[in-house]
């Protein structure tokens, strides 16, 4: 996706035009985030572009980013706003942002977009939830990734997460978000993300959906499961949409819920 208009080739190296086009591009990018438009966000990257989430150390292709954001927007409906001005040069766009919602504290972050010609080929996102009333400086964004967990903290948080999921079944709450789960664990969202990523080898959404899918498999395997609608099962295990349930179930098992049920029942009837 082009970040400036190609009909202005004679002015492209003019600083004012560069900044203006960059600001328009960033506004379009924010509009996509604020409309929970996963495809719209990702299409600000070139097809071969990458998105790097620095605190979680996860890198996404454009297609992977769409899939991840579909999950994210299922559970979160935040709003984003620009802080300060958009900074731009021939090869980079940089800006700060604030993310806010009714269910969590404000998050601050900074993004750096690398350009190749007229296209964005990489977006690097530094973010961190904060209780600070003052806005973080753009130049301090990389410090967010330096708050790593030591081994004792990691063990403590992973044990708490396992208890919350296996014993208290926190995943059954359909509105469970990263800030809410972090509050239950007693840590920051950044540390929660690190604990899930490093301790369990997956991101928050896959971690949460793993338990929900396993619970759904148990319900689909009950003798009376034929009389239980799949939609009812999806809501019972914590999903708040049937499409999100089907996508997570297929990703985890390679089958749709209906295929899983038929296969299980067929095996048991032959036994």
Indicate whether this model's pTM tops 0.75: no
SS3 116: strand
- Give residue 135's pLDDT: 43
CATH architecture type of domain 9-146: Roll (3.10)
Under CATH, which number does the domain 151-270 receive?
A: 1.10.10.60
pLDDT in tens, 74-106: 777 889 999 988 888 778 999 999 888 766 667
- Give residue 148's pLDDT: 59
Give the phi and the psi of residue 213 in degrees, each rounded to 5: -65, -40
- Give residue 163's pLDDT: 96
CA distance 218 to 29: 41
Give the residue ranges of the chain where pLDDT is below 50.
3-14, 130-147, 225
Cβ atoms of 239 and 245 closer than 8 Å:
yes
Q: How many CB atoms lie within 10 A of CB 137?
A: 11
Segment holding 162, helix H or strand E? helix 151-166
Contacts of 88 (CB under 8 A, 6+ apart): 18, 19, 21, 22, 23, 94
- Give residue 133's pLDDT: 38
Dihedral angle, C-alpha 32, 62, 193, 250, nearest 10 ° = 100
Cβ atoms of 191 and 157 closer than 8 Å:
yes
- Give residue 143's pLDDT: 36
Cβ atoms of 44 and 66 closer than 8 Å:
no
Q: Which two tokens stand for residue 139?
A: 């130049």
Q: Which residue in the block uniquely carries the two structure tokens 């063990």?
A: 155
| Angle, alpha carbons 201-45-101 (nearest 5°) | 65
- Give residue 224's pLDDT: 62
CA distance 168 to 259: 29
Q: Which residue in the block uniquely carries the two structure tokens 């708050």?
A: 147
CA distance 121 to 113: 8
The residues spanned by each domain of the chain are 9-146, 151-270
């Amino acid at each position: 996706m082009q970040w400036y208009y190609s009909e202005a080739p004679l002015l492209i190296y003019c600083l004012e035009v560069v900044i203006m086009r960059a600001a328009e591009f960033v506004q379009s990018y924010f509009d996509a985030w604020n409309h929970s438009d996963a495809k719209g966000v990702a299409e600000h990257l070139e097809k071969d572009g990458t998105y790097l989430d620095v605190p979680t150390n996860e890198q996404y292709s454009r297609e992977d980013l769409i899939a991840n954001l579909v999950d994210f927007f299922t559970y979160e409906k935040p709003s984003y706003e620009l802080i300060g001005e958009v900074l731009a040069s021939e090869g980079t766009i940089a800006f700060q942002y604030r993310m806010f919602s009714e269910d969590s504290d404000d998050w601050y972050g900074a993004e750096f977009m690398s350009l190749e010609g007229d296209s964005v080929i990489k977006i690097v996102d530094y973010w961190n939830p904060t209780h600070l009333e003052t806005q973080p400086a753009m130049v301090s964004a990389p410090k967010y990734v330096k708050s790593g967990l030591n081994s004792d903290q990691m063990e403590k948080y992973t044990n708490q997460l396992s208890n919350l999921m296996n014993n208290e079944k926190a995943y059954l709450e359909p509105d469970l978000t990263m800030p809410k789960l972090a509050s239950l664990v007693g840590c920051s969202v950044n540390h929660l993300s690190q604990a899930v990523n490093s301790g369990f080898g997956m991101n928050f959404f896959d971690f949460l959906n793993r338990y929900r899918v396993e619970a759904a498999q148990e319900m689909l395997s009950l003798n009376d499961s034929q009389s239980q609608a799949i939609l009812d099962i999806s809501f019972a295990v914590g999903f708040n949409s049937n499409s999100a349930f089907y996508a997570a179930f297929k990703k985890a098992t390679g089958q749709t819920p209906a295929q899983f049920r038929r296969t299980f029942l067929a095996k048991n009837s032959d036994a």
